[in-house]
Structure 1
Amino acid sequence: MFNVESLERVELCESLLTWIQTFNVDAPCQTVEDLTNGVVMAQALQKIDPAYFDENWLNRIKTEVGDNWRLKISNLKKILKGILDYNHEILGQQINDFTLPDVNLIGEHSDAAELGRMLQLILGCAVNCEQKQEYIQAIMMMEESVQHVVMTAIQELMSKESPVSAGNDAYVDLDRQLKKTSEELNEALSAKEEIAQRCHELDLQVAALQEEKSSLLAENQVLMERLNQSDSIEDPNSPAGRRHLQLQTQLEQLQEETFRLEAAKDDYRIRCEELEKEISELRQQNDELTTLADDAQSLKDEIDVLRHSSDKVSKLEGQVESYKKKLEDLGDLRRQVKLLEEKNTMYMQNTVSLEEELRKANAARSQLETYKRQVVELQNRLSEESKKADKLDFEYKRLKEKVDSLQKEKDRLRTERDSLKETIEELRCVQAQEGQLTTQGLIPLGSQESSDSLAAEIVTPEIREKLIRLQHENKMLKINQEGSDNEKIALLQSLLDDANLRKNELETENRLVNQRLLEVQSQVEELQKSLQDQGSKAEDFHYVKKS
């Protein structure tokens, strides 16, 4: 037994699509999407059996469905129901263990596998109808690969077919109600036939009884004639009287039976009339239900269309609501736009001023860099001048030490000079005493020079040499001391004055530099604050511009 499940469903759908094109229907049938609306399959079924799939059935298939998948599903359901009814009613076959196609997947998603199952059912109708030889011959004329797939599908479908059994599932509630009404109508018709048969039997019985009655009357008349001719019938003891009583009793029974049958006939006739009325009403209801079924089907199609339109309407209503909200917000947005435009203008002005301030800040920044360089240079100069001041201080201290040492030497020399002066005075005193002695004892001196020479003669050569040497050294020391001390003092005084002047200048310059440094630092802080303010304003403007 072949099994189509072993083949690819897509290949089966493509092969059966090639086969359905051999029907030469009016609708396009080149792709899977062309078959999803069901029009091509309906026209193919009409060509397979025009008597069963007539124009009325074909008109129930909507041709203008577009992209409405609900109408496609409705058409596919009608086609599937028609195929199953055709197999059941015309071919007398029931398809068992065969997975019926899912029309929802075909109509909504154009599923090729499910479409292949639907085309496989149409193929089964074609190869089992009265013109099956024609369709089999058309299959034999196709390509070998397509022919193999189609034959495999036919054999698999034939293996699933079995003779039809009683009772099919109801398709929809309205069809179930229609079947129930049809069953009631059939029961009413069968009851009518039974009642008609019963009435006919009763009519036959009445006719037979009437014939029997007429025969009995004839017989009674004959007997009466015989009775008139023979013994009196009033005599019950006579045979004629007994026969007369018997016949009279039988006649009464037959009359009662006749009355009863006529009453039953009248009842059955009334019941038959009522059933005929019920049958006419049921037929009318059946016609109305059929009309309602057609109307319900058309209403279902319209409901599908309206549902599709309702979806669009709901979407459009949502869009309208969103547009209304947008229109309501439009006034606020306009006001916000005006405010934003005003803010934008203000921000533009602020931007221009900030750009101007930025240019100034850049210029100030360059000036600040210059000031920084000047501060660095001044600091370097200050450090150099500090080094020079330290050096001069060191030189000053060294020179002061020298001056102190020279002052000490000067004091020592002055002390030595004083001691030499005292010695000279002592010598002079000694000379004076010697002069007085010479004037008193020897000869008088005429002048001071003679006394000096005398003193010089009295003094020993060593003392004289020492004295001369001391006088010369004293003179030279006085000269050297006066000259060197004055020069050194003048030099040291000039150096000290220069150092003090340089120190004052450096202190003044340091104060000026510190003052300038404080001013520059205050300017730097002001520039940093202005730059921060400009940065925050620029960020706010950028944020507002983005928003």
Structure 2
Amino acid sequence: MLPQDIQQESQAFISWLSLFKLSRTVTSLADLDDGTVLFEVLSQVDEEYFRSPPRSQSSENWVIRFGQLKRLFRLITQYFVDVLHRQTAELEVPDLQAIAQNHDVVQTLVLCRLTIAISVQGKKNSEVIAGIQKLPQADQRAIMTAIEKVMSRFTELERRAGDATMTDDDHYYQMQLERSRALADKETLEKVYQQVLNEHRALQTNYDDILAEKEELTSSVRDMRRQMDDRRQDKSDGIMRAEIERLRTELQKTEENLGAAEIEAEKQASLVNDLTRRVEELQGKADEAARLKDQVDEYRHAAEKLHKTENVMEKYKKKLEESADLRRTVKGLEEQNATLVDKNAALEEENRKVAAYKPLMESYKTQISDLENKVSQRNKDIEGAKFELSQSQSRLRQVMEERAKDSEALELYQERVRELELAAVPRPRIRTTSTDDAVAAVSEPQTPAVPMTPGDDLDSTTRGLGGELDDALSGTTMTDLKLQIRALKRDLEAARAGGEEQSRILVLESLLEDSQRMKTRYEEDYLAAHREKLVLQAQLEEIRSGKAVGDGPEAAIALRQRLNETIDQLDTLRKEHAELQVKFETQSRDLTIAKSDLNLVNKDQLEILATLRESVNEDKAAMESEMGHLKIQITELKDKNKMQLEQVNTLLMEKVSLQNEGIGQREKMLERERHFGDLRASLGGKELPEEARAKFLALHEETVQLKEQLKTVQEKYQKARAFIKDQDKLFKEQNKSSGGPQATFEEAESHRSQMKIAEEELERYKRLLREAVQRYQQEQTLMLSIIQRHGMNVTRGHLKQPQRAAPSSWLGQQRKNIGQSLGSNIPPDACDPMKQRYCGGTWNSIRENLDYIQHMGFTAIWISPVNKNIEGVTAYGESYHGYWIEDISQLNSHFGTAQDLKTLSAELHARGMYLMVDLVVNNVVSVGTTEPNFSSFFFKDPSQYHPYCPINYKNQSSIEQCWMGDTKVALVDVNTEDEYVVAQYEGWVANFIQEYGIDGLRIDAAKHIRRDFWPGFCGAAGVFCIGEVYGPDIQLGASYQGPLESILNFPLYYGLVQAFGNPKATNMSALVSIISESQRTFGDTGLLGNFLENHDVPRWSGKYQDPQSL
């Protein structure tokens, strides 16, 4: 139902309720959650039946509202049965708990519909109808729709009751219905009898009280008369006479009341006698119903035994069929063996022919061996050359390295020579008149020339050479220094490449990771402690607010025991905290050692680790602050725990004292009642003195005060009781969340024994599974070998017989024979498939040919859908196939009547055969439009169908919710997610199976409906269900074998087509892989429906060219 419709209907009911004089104004449907307003409306409609409405003030407790709603709904259903004489079996039952607890609008509307249906059919229906006519048109339309929904259920129920034929099962269900009605009447009569008995007892008590009062009045009258005789001369005679008259009047009234009470008692006695008689009559019916129920149980037990026997017979039939298949297989293998023997002889003959070429083959073998020797020798030479090449390359690398060193040395020596040349003293030049002199005169300063002798030049040269020699002898030449520098550079690079510092850095990094890990652990401990703190705070708040459930001293003992356990847990937490503190100190020492190690690292690494140390110190400081905060919290929790213990003990003591005070107050009240009784007995009918009256008034006031005190004490007691119960519930939930107490020793022993038994059972199942797998593997190997041989035979047959032959298979011959036998009585132009019209086939014609079908060896038949289809000719012809469903609740008259279908089922069962019916659940059919008229369908509400959308076969949601077909013939998709649709489908299929004796269902387009729909549907059917999951996808098909018992094996069909259907197809590996994957994927391949052809695929003999493929 759409939200707009719900809002419109809600507004209409609010407008209608405003026409009545109610105790409170209705502004929304939430004001109807206690049923008081609806009760007042019904009491105005029929005052006699809906008497004594509940209190007008709404209660905050939803349980009280739920009880009032149950009383109202019970009266409504009784009014339909007793006054309106309507059956309530199909009456829509509202969820009263949802109305009372959650103010559910939809369920409240259901209750309002029932109320207005009674109003328009009750005694004052004319006034109600006149009031409805005063409402606006939209409200009138919504109210009339609501009334029609209720009345349509009664009409449908009466129609079904009139149309249904009485069968044995119907008789059984009718007896069950009568029995349930009798039991309900019995319970009602017992309640009425108990009520009348209570009223009778009350009247009897009143009668006794009135008699006692009468006796007291009579005695007072006698006393007054005696006093009157004594005081006849007194002046107060007039007053006494008036008193006598008053007493006489009261006595007369009392006698009248006594007579009325006696008449009422007689009526109640007669009513009790009638009810007793009806109870005795119904008791006999109840005994008869119990006896019939026992018989039904016996019959059901016998039916179960028969069902088991049928299952055993089915197993034996399957075994016999398997043995027949094996015999046929053996026969085929013998034929293949004979063929292979013939082929072996032919091969031997060919071998003898080939013997003439033996010398030539020997020479070829000799040449091949020589060539192989040459190739091996060449390979050896190549390997030697490769080895020499590698040696030469290594020597070349060494020479290149030596050459590089020599070149470096040469460069150094050349540099040294240049240095020596520069270090030597230059020779004196002979001055000439050349241009050099001019240059020298210009460039050199004007200093006096120092005369140099040859001896001075020699001395300077000698000094330069001598210093160089000294440097060479001492090993401090520039060449040596450069060589040392280069060696040191190489050592430095090696040291940088890997050394001891790297290992030390790794050690420090591991220590740093450990510290980070400990930090994470401390954070987790802090979070756990914080969560525990929040839980304890919540518990304390609940204790302070006084919420709870628990009762009696046992709850107090359990509470104290739980508190002791909490104290033990607190001690355990303290120990764990101490251990964590020790670990924290150990980790701090490790961090100190890590800091000392960090001082030994190089300066650049120290800078990196300094930043890490700062972060670690910051984390350490934060963790220390968190630890201090945790310590403070633990101290606070200790104090709060003590406070809670004190509060709980105080509450327990208050509870005990309140119980004792209540007992004392009860004893005092009993004692006062006894005292009042003694005073009444002593006073009799005398007039009370003023002192006694004052005393009675004081006692009455004291009683009122004590009652108020008792009420206050009871409220406190209830609060304490609720608080203790809440605490007990809270502790139980905590125990449950923390794992609960450990099981006792006996439970542990029982669990061990159960586990041992389960393990033994598991081992047995595993052994059986291994044996089954091994057996299946052997069968698979045998089948694959047979299929391979058959494929080879087919291929050879194609090569030997290229011309087309007539079909010689058994199935082809049977088709030819059955076509001749069945077609003899039908005119040649009556069954043209191209016309796409009905050809006259009926269920009676199938029954007439059952002898032929049974003699062919078939044990079951599968017929087309039997439901009502659309009429007329469409763009694709008539609905001769039966899959264009219009109404599933009716049969297709073109195929026969209901009696014809029952007769066919009975005939099949008498022959020991089974009947499987094709079923279309996914859709109904609309011709020429995507906006059909839903009134002709079984489901008439548009919300019970999916909106139109074309199917995207790559999306499973689109497959399940969009429409098949096209705009010419649209298959309207049923909304199987709707709960009403699911319930109707399950109810219909259960009645359909039972009425016509169907043994199995073939479900069309199963993959177009969500998977969770099928278990409930097939469970309601109670028979074998096999679904059509069209396509070669094995995974998709296997996903439906759980919700459905089986599916049609389309993957195997496509594999057979690829392997055998086309004479050019020799790919057997595809079939082998399909069979292997099916065995791995499907839960039970033995239940799959294997086939070569059906109405969805072309005929094998017409599509393929191979006459032997059949």
User: Into which bin does the TM-score normalised by the smaller protein fall?
Assistant: 0.3 to 0.5
Structure showing greater Rg: 1
More helix per residue? 1
Higher relative contact order (CA 8 A, sep 6+): 1
Q: TM-score, normalised by structure 1?
A: 0.35
